[in-house]
Amino acid sequence: MSPILTQAWEEMIKPMLSRPKRIQVAALCYRTASQGKEVLMVTSRGTGRWILPKGWPINGKDGAESALQEAWEEAGVQKGCVEGDPIGTFSYDKELKTGLPVPVETFVYTIRDVELSDDYPEAHQRQRKWFSPQDAANLVREPELQTLLRQL
């Protein structure tokens, strides 16, 4: 490719075709057990793989409040202490109902001192389970999330 075409591609065409990442928030809920920390994971509704509770930001709530709301809806976290700013992010492609993948950047908030309810909105759609951070890291696909879990 000629230098002019390469420059046109890199500076004009490629940026126009690139879609910005959409934002989600995730709740990394943990507790300290006799063997050390444990992470609360839920199954996804589509594939059944183990994930953190996560979703789109909620109007009128900040990122931490949105993450806590997702933890309630997907895992039954009725109470917990959000530990400030996100500890990191991870990226993935979310497949929408249309079948099209959308790039997503997910901000991860830690929540400690978690209290669970057996009755919550998605109780019949998901499973939930406590895992060691290492086991949780081995269950997820996203390398950045694996790193965050192993650092917990």
Q: Does the 24-150 domain belong in CATH 3.90.79.10? A: yes
**Where residue 12 falls among pLDDT bands split at 50, 70, 90?**
low
Q: Whole-model pTM?
A: 0.85
Degrees, nearest 5: CA angle 138-90-139: 15
Q: What is the DSSP string of 136-150?
A: HHHH---HHHHHHHH
Buried b (16+ CB within 10 A) or exposed e, 89-111: bbebeeeeeeeeeeebebbbbbb
Give the span between the Cα atoms of 29 and 130, in whole angstroms: 9
Measured in degrees and rounded to the nearest 5, phi and psi for residue 148 equal -60, -40
Tens of pLDDT, residue by residue over 43-99, are 998 889 999 999 999 999 999 999 999 999 999 999 999 988 999 999 999 887 888
At 138, list the tokens: 């081995």
